[in-house]
């Protein structure tokens, strides 16, 4: 299992996210969900492409790296954010689940998120493997946020 230290995302992740946002802005990657939340220091809107997982009729986001900027911004904004999907921006409230409530979502995450995100988390040392057990083990380290309408 990964240690409790902050795990640094790969150097290429932020430039890749910027490329995705650029492509989305010009009509490509329309399906890409983008979280919009005020920066905790600047207050300016920060856009982050993320994977949304649906579990038991609810939608969720997973903090793929402990201490991720977007998650810290969400916490500072008391969960108030916007979600842009297919050009439609909606106001949302993100509610961080307690670790024990997050476990079922985490166990399902490898199936919910496709292969790229979970594999990236394994390669970075966040999880020991791409299995339900390995993901459940990060409960309390990687936040799970339920997406609710505002």
Q: Is the dihedral of CA 145, 141, 130, 118 positive or negative?
A: positive
Return the pLDDT at 16: 65
Return the pLDDT at 104: 98
Determine the Cα–Cα distance for residues 67 and 143; give it in Å rounded to an integer: 9
Return the pLDDT at 87: 79
pTM of the predicted model as reported, rounded to 2 decimal places: 0.84
Instruction: Give the chain's residues under pLDDT 70.
Output: 1-7, 9-13, 15-30
Return the pLDDT at 117: 85
Express each pLDDT in 23-58 by its tens digit.
Answer: 666 666 667 888 999 999 999 999 888 989 999 999
Q: DSSP string of 72-84?
A: HHHHHTTTEEEEE
Return the pLDDT at 1: 31
Return the pLDDT at 60: 97
Return the pLDDT at 4: 47
Determine the Cα–Cα distance for residues 31 and 19; give it in Å rounded to an integer: 15
């Amino acid at each position: 299992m990964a240690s409790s230290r902050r795990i640094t995302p790969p150097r290429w992740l932020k430039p890749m996210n910027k490329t995705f946002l650029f492509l989305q802005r010009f009509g490509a990657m329309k399906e890409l969900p983008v979280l919009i939340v005020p920066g905790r220091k600047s207050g300016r809107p920060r856009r982050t492409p993320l994977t949304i997982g649906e579990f038991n009729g609810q939608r969720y986001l997973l903090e793929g790296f402990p201490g991720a900027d977007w998650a810290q911004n969400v916490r500072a904004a008391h969960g108030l954010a916007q979600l842009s999907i297919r050009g439609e921006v909606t106001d949302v409230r993100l509610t961080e689940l307690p670790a024990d409530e997050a476990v079922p979502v985490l166990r399902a995450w490898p199936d919910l998120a496709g292969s790229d995100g979970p594999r990236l988390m394994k390669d970075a040392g966040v999880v020991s493997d791409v299995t339900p057990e390995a993901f459940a083990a990060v409960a309390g380290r990687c936040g799970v946020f339920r997406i609710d309408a505002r």
